[in-house]
Chain A
Amino acid sequence: MRTEVLIIGAGHSGLAMSRRLTEHGVEHVVLDRGEPGNAWRTERWESLRLLTPNWQTGLPGHDYAGDDPDGFMGSREVADHLAAYARAIGAPVRAGVTVTSVAPLERGYRVTTDHGVWEADAVVLANGGSGIPNVPAHAEGVPSGVLSLSAKHYRSPEQLPEGGVLVVGASASGVQLADELARSGREVTISTGEHVRMPRSYRGRDIFWWMDAAGVLDERWDEVDDIVRARHVPSPQLVGSADRAVGIGALHERGIRIVGRLGRVHEGVAQFSGGLANTVRLADLKLDRLLERFDAWAAETDAEVGPVERFDPTVVDDSPRLELDLVGEKVGTVLWATGYRPDYSWLEVPVLDYKGRLWHEGGVIPDAPGLYVLGTSLLRRRRSTYISGAAHDSAELAEHLVEYLGGRESARAELAS
């Protein structure tokens, strides 16, 4: 089978790209191992809501049209939103097709699937940034009898065996799960390394309103100080709810035990860094710098916002626990909320570095002409991490792609003449 462009993944990014290619009149096919939005339907916990408000979930040619622009979609609603979008734009989706390899041809790429082989001039990797949970090697030290589970496979508190829970990681996922588990009556410890403290609202506006309005989300990948690091910063400690704080300070107040970064699990004992005080201090200082930036922008633009606020420094125990005896202290589950990385295990193009990371320049892969990536953290701008990034990113990459296809055609014509 042949097509001009093959898009792998029918999530928000792959569908946005499909829409752009249709606009450009480029023949293409979108492959997905499930239905559009599959991961949102099958790989998320039950209570999950988006971090971004509904008004920021628009896709190219498909703005949010519901009656709750300031609300937050649950994961099933996101899946429905994507399925509806796929129908609305008439995306040529082949559902239930799993890609098993992408390999270079002399011109273009060969994409092998469990339903046949495709050849395409260009391939767009839109399979998402959260294919594989980044569970650290010390998970191997978790003693038998204690469940070791990644956030990707967590669904609800009832799923876990009896006993306490050690949540490792304090990104949005980690703090949300710690909060949910504590509310269900579990004794919860959360282990945190570097994290991003953020209030849900500031000066009467949602924090994502600020991020959007003050231009934070539009900072480009090549303007960020250290892009490799920036792409690995954990997601902000937020939950899609107007009235629930899930920062470290709020969790501590609710009786959740806060401990430092997990160092190792040794003879059944989890050992934590003694650097917690500095970790929370760094997050407090970083939050203040963000708010100062918002304040400066608001003053400059005379924005309609409430009075300036500052948040109290985060309080944790003076001498936080350095050890947790998983068996002796009846911890039933270690829940890894330690981030994800994209799955490129089937990519047979030599573009991965020694850590398996794909080097790209804003989605363009310099070492593999005609291969593009879309929908990963900070791909072209901060907004790329969220659904609202797909509109810009797909527009710009589609233009690059169309130019690339045009260049190939003229090269072919030259060869023929």
Chain B
Amino acid sequence: MTDTATVDNGVNSDALLGARDALRQAPEAAQFTWKATSEWIRGTHSRQTIESFTGLGQEHQHKKPFVLEGDHPEPFASEDHAPTPVETVLAALAGCLTAGVAAVAQNRGIQLKSVKATVEGDHDILGILGGDPEVRNGFNEVRVTFDIDADASDEDIAALVAQSQKRSAVFDALTNPTNVTVSVA
């Protein structure tokens, strides 16, 4: 394991640890609200825009609006203009866990060389088609496989991946129930 000071994974751990201590003293500032807006295009194709969020007691603008799209693929009799939203969820999980791996590695003084992940979600679509009332709409199982090259032992890498799951917002959102309300403006 290399020394923390000489490790550079591009993560500012000191700032994160500083924020943790500061927010413990001012917990109201830790309350964030994330936001995406969405607009239907045609068929199952839609476009989501992500521009701003609130936290630390104010609104923040992203450097520029980020645009995602969702559609369904041809086997669903759609035109496949974009990933299906369930694939975007898998991508979000990979993004969140990978960010966690980098942050934890920085904090533990582990230099990363490459971090690759494959995410698969098993899905019985009889649920969403209404073909079997006993089948759920969502994933039956999600598997993430990491392939990590780093200056660390296998145990340290395993601990890195375990810790990133422990502190992952998307992992939590997928593995735990959340109250979701949908209303019409």
Contact A285 B141 (CB under 8 A): no
- From the candidates B158, B163, B176, name the one contacting A273 in the complex (CB within 8 A): B176
Which chain B positions have C-beta within 8 A of A194? 166
The tally of residues in A whose CB lies under 8 Å from a CB in B reads 19
Binding stretch for chain B, among A26-34, A142-150, A259-267: A259-267
Q: B13-45 CB contact bits vs A (8 Å, 1 = yes)?
A: 000000000001001000000000000000000
Judged by DSSP, the binding face of B is helix
Task: Check if A163 is an interface residue, CB within 8 A of chain B.
Answer: no
The tally of residues in B whose CB lies under 8 Å from a CB in A reads 16
Contact B177 A285 (CB under 8 A): no
Nearest-Cβ distance from residue A268 to partner chain B, whole angstroms: 14
Nearest-Cβ distance from residue B2 to partner chain A, whole angstroms: 19
Chain A, 241-274, CB within 8 A of any chain B CB: 260-261, 263-264, 266, 271, 273-274
Task: Check if B159 is an interface residue, CB within 8 A of chain A.
Answer: yes
Contact B176 A263 (CB under 8 A): yes
Task: Check if B174 is an interface residue, CB within 8 A of chain A.
Answer: yes
Which chain A positions have C-beta within 8 A of B174? 274
Judged by DSSP, the binding face of A is mixed
Contact A273 B24 (CB under 8 A): no
Bound CA–CA A194/B163 (angstroms): 11
Task: Check if A281 is an interface residue, CB within 8 A of chain B.
Answer: yes
Contact B141 A266 (CB under 8 A): no
Which chain A positions have C-beta within 8 A of B165? 275, 278
- From the candidates B27, B141, B176, name the one contacting A261 in the complex (CB within 8 A): B176
Bound CA–CA A274/B122 (angstroms): 14
Contact B162 A282 (CB under 8 A): yes
Chain A positions within 8 Å of B, measured between CB atoms, are 194, 228, 260-261, 263-264, 266, 271, 273-275, 278, 281-282, 285, 288-289, 319, 354
Contact A278 B27 (CB under 8 A): no
Task: Check if B3 is an interface residue, CB within 8 A of chain A.
Answer: no
Nearest-Cβ distance from residue B19 to partner chain A, whole angstroms: 14
Contact B155 A354 (CB under 8 A): no
Contact A285 B155 (CB under 8 A): yes
For this complex, 30 residue pairs linking A to B, each with C-beta atoms less than 8 Å apart, are A194-B166, A228-B24, A260-B175, A261-B176, A263-B176, A263-B177, A266-B177, A271-B176, A271-B177, A273-B175, A274-B175, A274-B176, A275-B165, A275-B171, A275-B172, A275-B175, A275-B176, A278-B162, A278-B165, A278-B171, A281-B158, A281-B162, A282-B162, A282-B163, A282-B166, A285-B155, A285-B158, A289-B159, A319-B141, A354-B27
Bound CA–CA A274/B172 (angstroms): 9
Bound CA–CA A354/B29 (angstroms): 13
Nearest-Cβ distance from residue B91 to partner chain A, whole angstroms: 18
Contact B155 A288 (CB under 8 A): yes
Q: B81-108 CB contact bits vs A (8 Å, 1 = yes)?
A: 0000000000000000000000000000
Q: Report the nearest A residue to B164, measured CB to CB.
A: A278
Bound CA–CA A264/B175 (angstroms): 12
Which chain A positions have C-beta within 8 A of B27? 354
* Additional A-B contact list (5), CB under 8 Å, known A274-B174, A285-B162, A288-B155: A194-B166, A263-B176, A266-B177, A273-B172, A274-B176
Contact B166 A278 (CB under 8 A): yes
Interface centre among B162, B163, B171 (most CB of A within 10 A): B162
